[in-house]
Structure 1
């Protein structure tokens, strides 16, 4: 059932999309005026207003298709960036096809690339600014949503903190109902009475928006009238499952036909659209790099390597990939040929490394041949780093949930690597931290997050990393 709040969100999305459509058109016009009296004007084959209207229509379609999430009460910057990236990618392809097929303009020009880049920056600034203003408005008491809790189990107690820890989310929890008061609940969340008193409370407090119920199924005679009342009085009813007795982490609701079930984690990369987006980016990114910069780097590395140490230029090693499938991972050789290459991890003052090899490791140049692995489909540009077979065998027995990282393709770089868990794992807790980071990445994947990790990787390579050895 669609409520007035759903309609409100649709109007907000339409307003933001409309503003951005005008922004897309205005930016195109501004760039066109800059090239008006230059030879660049020749890229347009029809009057500029015709191209302008086409661009605006394509952006409106792309934005409405991807959607806007910045009005959601608990949403973070990287999620907003992910939506923006998808919108610009879809818009770039859609507008490019229409403009090229219609022979409106040359979309293979630097002008079109500059336009898309500028539009990405403008939309990012616009949405982040709107999000900041909305957070300030809610923090000051605007656009509030009032909540009551029915049941005081551990789930509802944790839910209370999720709702109230950030004032900018705009939630106000008026209190909780249960058969007995729960001393674990803070004074700010008062005890309002027994579950049988809920309907009387709702009748007197018509501004209640959400009701979260975690009563046991044995209380079904109380729960059913609550559901009926909420459905008939525009109160959102949510059932909070009691699974804390055997699961102490968040769960995710899914449907298999008409049967509901809970999963242990979100898995964005299980969706066909996300897998296609990530694989397309991997192919384009790796192919572009391998056809442009890589031949030059390969020539330089080959010359210096041959002058500084005997042996092959490349080093290949079997590692565990997606679904624990073994594959050969390629690197530039940074060590002397040795018998411990497949069993012993590199250390800071490892005698097997050469001076040139140390430079390659510090700047991550030794990892660049893995773009070949990306193109072959064994790896992705971003993902959990692939481990040696020996390490996978050992750590899978020592660290709980270690194998979860193998649900996705390994990456050249990853979330753990840009958040301090790169390099040698001296203690078990170091590897545990890396695994936590890998699982977090799998659960929170977005295209925007991948772009952020790539940016951090490049920045770290330029500045140098103390853990890169």
Structure 2
């Protein structure tokens, strides 16, 4: 039954596509944007304003939804909260709609017709959200689907309230596997120390809820590290509302505050979807407009100077330490010990053309095929060679080193644009690189990715001292 909950990540993309279909189908039925002969492009294909409207909404609807958190509907979200999100998105979309009419001067649209269109569109969208909301509740309570398997550590008043909430509200979709506390109660599964053995043996735990006032600092750190390494969500039940800070995400379960630590943007399914779409589109542009002619050229230049393949393939650790084959243009003599040694300045293994493509980072461009395959992202922590991954893991706090592998590695990253690329000369280099990687993961945004790409291009044009 645990497997039934594994497809919930598809819900937000599904509702996004559903909403886009609703607003675009209805606009086609309500309006004729092509009544006026106002042309903006040479091609009649692109002058079709219904097509322009579809492109326009595909861009601006997700953007407004992202900033207004329109699709952030959770198990404890109430119907009034859903209606509030719907009203905010309606107001934003009204501005988007009139901006389109103003920009393209499509037609003098009657206000009443626009009002009818907006009301019908959001009526259908709102109905879809409500049906989905109650449908999921029924799916959880009747079919035991979309289930979160949880344990509670501690038996404070808040923990007891949470236990009752989980047991008495099946529609929320929580399966309580056990309660661990050093207190005495027939409801308790074992002691706090017993919980570590239970977590090790029990597979498929989704969330751990900890009552802060019963745990020592060591216990808290142990749970945080284990949860991060096992990709389990960990949440805290505070003993006082004074503990709530801006760095912690606070959810209210029937007025009971529950804190989530390390709430990172890329844990959000919609954000991962946005990042993936950006990766695919950006990679396709690079492959079509750059690599389509650069690969044959590089093949000739590389082959003229040395024997061997055009591409260098090497195995690296990706997301969750999954190994994948990373592609680069070959820049060193064939059969050199490139898998085990970093390149150094004036390295004799590097060919003449290799030195140029390494200096300009052209050797990294084939990794856009890795991005298209889904092994990498355009921006993210750089993947290390496997022997170095093991070596660096001994020097870095294990929690932070594992955490940097919770996202896909990137062609470029925040650490690289800040000067930490290439050879690791001392422990301080790898420590600072990991710090930037962690900062990137915790503070990800699409704007940050675009900024890092822009800085990467500027660094290449200026010339990087660590590129050799």
Q: TM-score, normalised by structure 2?
A: 0.51
Paired position in structure 1 for 2:406:
407
User: 1:268 touches 1:446 (CA, 8 Å); kept in 2?
Assistant: yes
Q: Encode CA deviations 1:409-463: one digit per residue, 9 max, x unaligned.
A: 0000111111111111111101111100000000000001001111111111222
Residue of 371, 375, 388 corresponding to 2:372: 375
User: 1:251 touches 1:262 (CA, 8 Å); kept in 2?
Assistant: no
Displacement of 1:281 in angstroms is 1.1
1:436 alignment partner, SS class:
helix
User: 2:379 touches 2:411 (CA, 8 Å); kept in 1?
Assistant: yes
1:327 alignment partner, SS class:
strand
User: 2:327 touches 2:370 (CA, 8 Å); kept in 1?
Assistant: yes
Q: Determine the C-alpha separation between the residues in 2 that align with 1:296 and 1:413.
A: 22
User: 2:319 touches 2:406 (CA, 8 Å); kept in 1?
Assistant: yes
Distance 1:217-1:436 versus aligned 2 partners, 3 A rule: closer
1:292 alignment partner, SS class:
helix
Displacement of 1:289 in angstroms is 1.8
User: 1:253 touches 1:260 (CA, 8 Å); kept in 2?
Assistant: no
Distance 1:306-1:270 versus aligned 2 partners, 3 A rule: same
Paired position in structure 2 for 1:241:
243
Distance 1:353-1:45 versus aligned 2 partners, 3 A rule: closer
Residues 13-92 of structure 1 aligned to structure 2 (within 5 Å): 40=42, 64-67=64-67
Q: Encode CA deviations 1:1-58: one digit per residue, 9 max, x unaligned.
A: xxxxxxxxxxxxxxxxxxxxxxxxxxxxxxxxxx979873956768x9x999999999
1:381 alignment partner, SS class:
strand
User: 2:331 touches 2:358 (CA, 8 Å); kept in 1?
Assistant: yes
Paired position in structure 2 for 1:281:
278
Residue of 245, 248, 256 corresponding to 1:252: 248
Give the CA RMSD over aligned residues: 4.0
Q: Determine the C-alpha separation between the residues in 2 that align with 1:309 and 1:357.
A: 10
Paired position in structure 2 for 1:346:
343
User: 1:319 touches 1:388 (CA, 8 Å); kept in 2?
Assistant: yes
Paired position in structure 2 for 1:266:
263
Q: Encode CA deviations 1:74-131: one digit per residue, 9 max, x unaligned.
A: xxxxxxxxxxxxx9xx99xx98xx99xxxx89xxxxxxxxxxxxxxxxxxxxxxxxxx
Distance 1:55-1:303 versus aligned 2 partners, 3 A rule: closer
Residue of 395, 400, 417 corresponding to 2:392: 395
2:441 alignment partner, SS class:
helix
Displacement of 1:263 in angstroms is 4.0
Distance 1:340-1:65 versus aligned 2 partners, 3 A rule: same
Paired position in structure 2 for 1:426:
425
Displacement of 1:352 in angstroms is 0.9
Residues 44-443 of structure 1 aligned to structure 2 (within 5 Å): 64-67=64-67, 239-241=241-243, 251-255=247-251, 260-400=257-397, 401-443=400-442
Distance 1:445-1:307 versus aligned 2 partners, 3 A rule: same
Q: Determine the C-alpha separation between the residues in 2 that align with 1:444 and 1:278.
A: 13
1:398 alignment partner, SS class:
coil
Q: Determine the C-alpha separation between the residues in 1 that align with 2:275 and 2:57.
A: 26
Give unpaired runs (5+ residues) of structure 1: 1-34, 70-86, 106-215, 219-237, 244-249
2:326 alignment partner, SS class:
strand
Distance 1:257-1:287 versus aligned 2 partners, 3 A rule: farther
Displacement of 1:63 in angstroms is 6.4
Displacement of 1:292 in angstroms is 2.4
Q: Encode CA deviations 1:368-395: one digit per residue, 9 max, x unaligned.
A: 1101111111000110000011111111
Displacement of 1:403 in angstroms is 1.9
Q: Determine the C-alpha separation between the residues in 1 that align with 2:336 and 2:40.
A: 63
Distance 1:42-1:340 versus aligned 2 partners, 3 A rule: closer
Q: Determine the C-alpha separation between the residues in 2 that align with 1:283 and 1:55.
A: 17
Q: Encode CA deviations 1:252-277: one digit per residue, 9 max, x unaligned.
A: 23449556444442311111111111
Paired position in structure 2 for 1:453:
452
Q: Determine the C-alpha separation between the residues in 1 that align with 2:325 and 2:53.
A: 50
2:42 alignment partner, SS class:
helix
Displacement of 1:64 in angstroms is 4.9
Distance 1:431-1:43 versus aligned 2 partners, 3 A rule: same
Distance 1:44-1:465 versus aligned 2 partners, 3 A rule: closer
User: 2:244 touches 2:250 (CA, 8 Å); kept in 1?
Assistant: no
